[in-house]
Structure 1
Amino acid sequence: MLKIIWNKDDFERVKSKLDQEYHLYMTQDPNEVPVGKVGLILSEKNLHKLRPILEIIALEKTQVLLQTVSGWLQIHVQEIIYLEAFGDEIFMHTTTMSSQVIKQPLYQLEEILKPYHFARIGKSFIVNVSKIRYIRTAINAKLDLELINGTHLEVSRSFVKDFKNALGIQKRED
């Protein structure tokens, strides 16, 4: 048996995802874990489930440091919905604050955010894949994305294949 113990507030943010995907036994029993903590108990036959669980937990806590016009901003990657280049300015749209102007170029931001499930969808856009509500086909072999905040973005034709690969929905070519 393996126990994982972590902060109750952090746990609440990932609880539904863990319940739906992994059907795990979780406890707040004071005999099992300290007060204010939550425990996850896995049998040895389910140890293969541990890595994705830890990745989900780590993703919720991951922060990046980005340069803005007024200094440096530390932000949880899960708060970022998408980034948009408009002229020489990069706008970061988030779930928790108004848009921020970021001083780093889009290609650098793409490299920084790629490990955290972000994908380039056009010359001027990077999107957080976990913030997509719907994906619809559009005219001219493009895709229309509806994000959790109601924003619609278009995946340009030259980025559709890479975008589908990033999501794991690209059809195999014979």
Structure 2
Amino acid sequence: MKIELTIDPTCNEPKLIIITNEVTDEITEIMKLLSPDSLERVSAYTHRGAKIVEIKNILRIYTENKKVYIQTANGIAEVKLRLYELEEKLNPKQFVRISNSEIVNINAISSIDISKTGTIGVTLNGGIQTYASRRYVAKMKKQLGL
């Protein structure tokens, strides 16, 4: 990939142009990273009321009973966004989808157990145990560099 920078004293606002013959996964990831829509915090709701949660503090995001929840070291809270909406706005270098119903923070993964049957057990900080579905194993391995 080539990177080109042009300094123009008459330019009032930076403008980024991507020129490519096709949209690849790499281009899509770059666009997500540079997007002004990327999330830094999200509103979450518990029985005590609403609170703002920093994205970096989220261990995992999952669905259960048609609701979306985030889990941090401080507990679990519901969010009003859909899982796919969150995935579109999250930094792909920080979060990876491991199943149809779950996204985990890569930085919160403490260990990965790859069994002979093909299932992947994922242990997050705080001893939280979850599993990656076979459908997402290849994507997960690629993002984690395994």
TM-score between the two structures when normalised by the length of structure 1: 0.55
Matched with 1:152 is 129
Q: Secondary structure at the match of 1:90?
A: strand
Matched with 1:91 is 69
Greater C-alpha radius of gyration: 1
**Equivalent pair of 2:61/2:70 in contact (CA under 8 Å):** yes
Matched with 1:79 is 57
CA deviation digits over 1:49-73, x for unaligned, max 9? xxxxxxxxxxxxx8323354755x4
CA apart distance, 1:91? 1.2
Q: Distance in 1 between matches of 2:116 and 2:131?
A: 10
Q: Secondary structure at the match of 1:161?
A: helix
Matched AA of 2:87: E
Mapping of residues 18-167 of structure 1, within 5 Å: 63-66=40-43, 68=45, 71=50, 73-95=51-73, 97-115=74-92, 117-167=94-144
**Equivalent pair of 2:93/2:143 in contact (CA under 8 Å):** no
Q: Secondary structure at the match of 1:140?
A: coil
Report how many aligned residue pairs link the two structures: 106
Q: Percent identity?
A: 25
TM-score between the two structures when normalised by the length of structure 2: 0.65
Matched AA of 1:63: E
Matched AA of 2:143: A
CA deviation digits over 1:108-131, x for unaligned, max 9? 111122345100000111000100
CA apart distance, 1:139? 4.7
Question: Which aligned runs of 4 or more in structure 1 are off by greater than 3 angstroms?
Answer: 66-71
Q: Distance in 2 between matches of 1:162 and 1:151?
A: 21
**Equivalent pair of 1:66/1:104 in contact (CA under 8 Å):** no
Which consecutive residues of structure 1, in runs of 5 or more, have no partner in the other structure? Answer: 1-61, 170-174
Q: Secondary structure at the match of 1:149?
A: coil
CA deviation digits over 1:133-155, x for unaligned, max 9? 11111253121111111011111
Q: Distance in 2 between matches of 1:130 and 1:84?
A: 17
Q: Distance in 1 between matches of 2:43 and 2:85?
A: 11
Q: Distance in 2 between matches of 1:163 and 1:109?
A: 17
**Equivalent pair of 2:45/2:77 in contact (CA under 8 Å):** yes
Q: Secondary structure at the match of 2:81?
A: coil
Which consecutive residues of structure 2, in runs of 5 or more, have no partner in the other structure? Answer: 1-38
Matched with 2:3 is none
